[in-house]
Amino acid sequence: MTLAATTVAASGTPGFLSPTGVEIAFLLVGLVTLGAALVTVTTRQLVHAALWLVVALGGLAVEYLLLTAEFIAWVQVLIYVGSVVVLLLFGLMLTKAPIGRSPDADSGNRWAALTVAVAAAVALVWVVVDAFRATWIDLDGPAAGTTEVTGASLFRHWVLPFEALSVLLLAALVGAIVLSRKARADAGPAAPGKEGAR
């Protein structure tokens, strides 16, 4: 009997030295999601960034499925992958963003952005580790994130953030339309055909 099996038999709970198939899949999908997120924020091609964002958000949906939270997984797909990214792509098309490399996409504040990102990541990891230090989630047990329980909690306690998200999507769509109409108005008087007619 191995040391890991002896530890599991003695404590009654699985250990980190004996990962299950679900845990290995969770780790691999997490690495792919992290890689896609890094490419999203480092690429200089806006359309590629939006497409890599689809991969990152889809990876999060797979992680939710592995945690038996199927309702949250489908909400992730419908709202973020199906709405936010599509809205982002429409915004890029309406504002006539360049398809290739765009030097304007780099604001020159990389070190400030990196500092804020590292600080936010450290704070998030510390909060999660501190909250779940002595908690073990049994992935082989009964599903705890069922659609009924999660939906009731979402629409009972989280109605305001849910509606705020819909207002945010509407504001992004209106902003894209306003920017596209302003660009057309600025380009209108400079058209060579109109000057030739005069």
Residue in the block written with tokens 């600080």: 119
| Angle, CA of 97, 103 and 107, to the nearest 5° | 100
Report the amino acid identity of residue 60.
L
Which pLDDT does position 5 carry in this prediction?
Answer: 45
Which pLDDT does position 8 carry in this prediction?
Answer: 45
* Domain definitions of the chain by residue range: 18-189
Residue 1: which residues within 8 A CB-CB, separation 6 or more? 9
Residue in the block written with tokens 């490399």: 101
Which pLDDT does position 6 carry in this prediction?
Answer: 44
Phi and psi for 180 in degrees, rounded to 5? -70, -40
pTM above 0.85, yes or no: no
Task: HSE, CB side, 13 Å, CA atoms: give it for residue 172.
Answer: 16
Which pLDDT does position 4 carry in this prediction?
Answer: 44
Q: And the tokens for 139?
A: 């992935």
Q: Are 22 and 66 in contact (CB under 8 A)?
A: yes
Q: Is 2 left (phi over 0), alpha (psi -120 to 50) or beta?
A: beta
Percent helix / strand / coil, the chain, rounded to 5: 75, 0, 25
Fold of 18-189: Four Helix Bundle (Hemerythrin (Met), subunit A) (1.20.120)
Tens digits of pLDDT across the chain (198 residues): 444 444 444 455 555 556 788 889 999 999 999 999 999 888 877 788 888 989 999 999 999 988 887 878 888 888 888 877 777 777 777 766 666 666 666 667 778 888 998 999 999 999 988 887 776 666 566 656 667 777 777 778 888 887 887 888 788 778 877 777 765 666 655 545 544 444
Which pLDDT does position 122 carry in this prediction?
Answer: 94
Alpha-carbon distance of 91 to 177, in angstroms, equals 8
Residue 126: which residues within 8 A CB-CB, separation 6 or more? none
